[in-house]
Amino acid sequence: MAESWPGSPTISWNENSNSMPTNTNYGSLLEHINLPSDLRALGENELPKLAEELRKFLVETVSKTGGHLAAGLGTVELTIALHYVFNTPHDRLVWDVGHQTYPHKILTGRRKQMATLRQEGGLSGFPRREESEYDTFGVGHSSTSISAALGMAVAAARKKEDRHVVAVIGDGALSAGMAFEALNNAGDMDANILVVLNDNDMSISPNVGAMSNYLVRILSGKVYSSVRSGSKTVLGTIPPMWELAKRAEEHMKGMVMPSTLFEELGFNYFGPIDGHDLKTLTHTLSNLRNQNGPRFLHVVTRKGKGYEPAEGDPCVYHGVSPFDPSTGKMESKPKTKTYTQVFGDWLCDMAAKDDTLVAITPAMAEGSGMVAFSKQFPERYFDVGIAEQHALTFAAGLACEGLKPVVAIYSTFLQRAYDQLIHDICLQDLPVMLAIDRAGLVGADGATHGGNFDLSYLRSLPNITIMAPADENECRQMLTTAHHIKGPSAVRYPRGSGPGAKISKDLVDLPMGKAEIQQQGSRVAILAFGSMVAPALEAGNTLGATVVNMRFIKPLDENLIRELAGSHELIVTVEENTIKGGAGSAVNECLAEASITVPIINLGLPDAFVEHGETRSLLSQCGLDAQGIRHSILRAAPVKLARVLESA
């Protein structure tokens, strides 16, 4: 039996009962669960009913707000079991990525707020320390849970605090090097930590059945652990006998479970077990709660569990827009092509013309628009898993041998491979092209996924060429230009659709480092980068300003900048990147180097993390819509000039 704390449940399943006891105080179980302490007051045979209600509530909620669905459906039972067995929040529960944490949010006091999920001022789509004491670590990027949990476990030991620490990581996140670095460190330190692998990349194998569940419950139990510990003490005085016993144990476990790797890293491995079997989950977790040292529990779940559309296509239902819960049909998408689709089309067209082109993604084939390419050119398509650092150095190796790698990556994920970009690509001046998706604000995904910094962290690097398209056709032209560059290059484009420009099928290069004047005016010159060209044109029309599509961040069109500074009273730069160190700073540096003094206004994203919300609203709050740009110019311009502009 598990050790207990005040109010903790007693784990004692009635093996002979198939009935579901009812509690007269509870109409619907879920509506009475406001905190995990309420959950722990339930009888264990009520938990499957709660899981059913929780799953239904999750589908209904996300159908209205959109968000990540399939992963959360797969962790309903696991979430219930973890909060039922462990005394959260005193015991630390650390989630990885956060896609699977909606059930956790519902059970930890936020059920009534789920209607605000991913909306401005509402709940985040990811765990956040500011949001709840049950969110022990803020996440959004993968593979951080084991490292963070290890830190918490070591801190608890140093402070002599009696608490358990559990990290929950998915099989995809476990593919990242950081996760194995943490496992190696935790095993070497003999830390008191439990790692739960939520393996949802396969259907339940023959091993995950009654026999496997039974063996894991035996192996995780107190009797087996005592015998194992006692045998080590007794047989340890006779080394050959202990070695023989140890090998016999490993052989027995190896016949039914893939334990070798994690055992070698210093963990005591248990599993795999059925992650939808609440009885086995609670029994096993309760047993493991009574053990010390590095423990690894392998749990197999099914993405989309319990909701047929999501079970049938977990990729589509990984991240969803609002949908009809009765049919699973999602709201119709806009007919205008997104930048991601423009990239996907270009990739296939260019690959048909150039057989040296190869494409790489760190586990974002669908999100980066590479599905069609993967089917048409499977031998030239490489999904390296959640391993951004490896993706860039792998691309560098390909480039060394004469191939032309295209790495499709989100701006926020490129941050994780910065050293490889500097050391392995730019330093060696290799022709690796970065197709940077989700540059700028990303709306409902919020601060963890915002691509607000790439212009700042890229433009300081030698040898790289950086471009940002104003529309869909220019995106295609820039991708072509980047492909033909003999050194590192980057094309950064925003999430979603552009202004709806007609897209030519031609593969045409742009003149290197040349901007384009879109509107000729006087007094004020607005230098706009990428997605900001459209609102800058709208604002410029009301002010009689010159508006320039800068196209290139590096190299800048320095001749045009100096010319405009000499013929205008005010220079304004506008970018969907943080102002600090961004494209506007590059313009400032250009003018300073030429000893040209002219009033300059730099507009861009603030020196702060921009939270989740609707993208258009967030841009407006940052002063990056047409009205905001106009207002900023009038407010910051010299008084005499502002009066002239207002009367224009």
CA distance 512 to 467: 10
SS3 236: coil
- Closest by alpha carbon to 493, among 539, 460, 536, 533? 533
* Structure confidence at residue 637 (pLDDT): 83
526 contact partners, CB below 8 Å, separation of at least 6 = 536, 539, 540, 545, 546, 547, 548, 572, 573, 574, 629, 633
Q: Phi/psi at 256 (nearest 5 deg)?
A: -120, -5
Helix (H, G, I), strand (E, B) or coil at 226: helix
In tens, the pLDDT along 366-415 reads 999 999 999 999 999 999 988 999 999 999 999 999 999 999 999 999 99
pLDDT on residue 646 = 81
Q: Lowest-confidence range among 3-12, 24-33, 614-623?
A: 3-12
C-alpha–C-alpha distance, residues 590 and 582, integer Å: 13
The active-site residue out of 303, 337, 459, 630 is: 303
> Given pLDDT bands bounded at 50, 70 and 90, which one contains residue 261?
confident
Q: Residue 200 above 80 pLDDT?
A: yes
Indicate which residue of 416, 459, 492, 495 is catalytic: 416
Say which DSSP state 579 is in. S
pLDDT single digits (tens) 413-456: 999 999 999 999 999 999 999 999 999 999 988 888 999 999 99
DSSP sequence for 182-221:
HHHHHHHHT--EEEEEEE-SSPPPTTSSHHHHHHHHHHTS
Residue whose pair of structure tokens reads 């795999």 in the numeric block: 272
Report the Cα 259 to chain-centroid distance in Å. Answer: 28
> What token pair was written down for 248?
């016999």
Which pLDDT belongs to residue 246?
53
Out of 44, 388, 575, 576, which one is annotated catalytic?
Answer: 388
What does the block give as tokens for 101?
Answer: 């944490």
Residue 416 bears catalytic tag = yes
Mean pLDDT for 505-510 is: 96
The per-residue pLDDT for range 306-355, each reduced to its tens digit, is 998 998 888 888 888 899 998 888 877 667 899 999 999 999 999 999 99
- pTM for the model stands at 0.83
Q: Which H helix or E strand runs over 612?
A: none
Helix (H) or strand (E) segment spanning residue 69: none
Cα separation values, 567 from 545, 550, 574, Å: 12, 17, 19
| Longest CA–CA separation in the chain, Å | 96
d(CA 580, CA 586) in angstroms, rounded, equals 10
Residue 520 scores a pLDDT above 90: yes
**pLDDT for the residue numbered 336:** 84
- Which pLDDT band, with edges at 50, 70 and 90, does 258 fall under? low
pLDDT at position 9 over 60: no
Which H/E stretch holds residue 610?
A: none
* Low-confidence winner among 166-175, 221-230, 354-363, 597-606 (lowest mean pLDDT): 221-230
Please give the pLDDT value at position 641.
83
User: Does residue 303 have an active-site annotation?
Assistant: yes
pLDDT in tens, 538-566: 999 999 999 999 999 999 999 999 999 99
Over range 191-205, report the average pLDDT: 76
- Burial string for 539-565 (b: 16+ CB within 10 Å, else e) reads bbebbbbbbbbbbbbbebbbebbbebb
- Please give the structure tokens belonging to residue 620: 């407006």
Closest CA to 165 of 177, 153, 148: 153
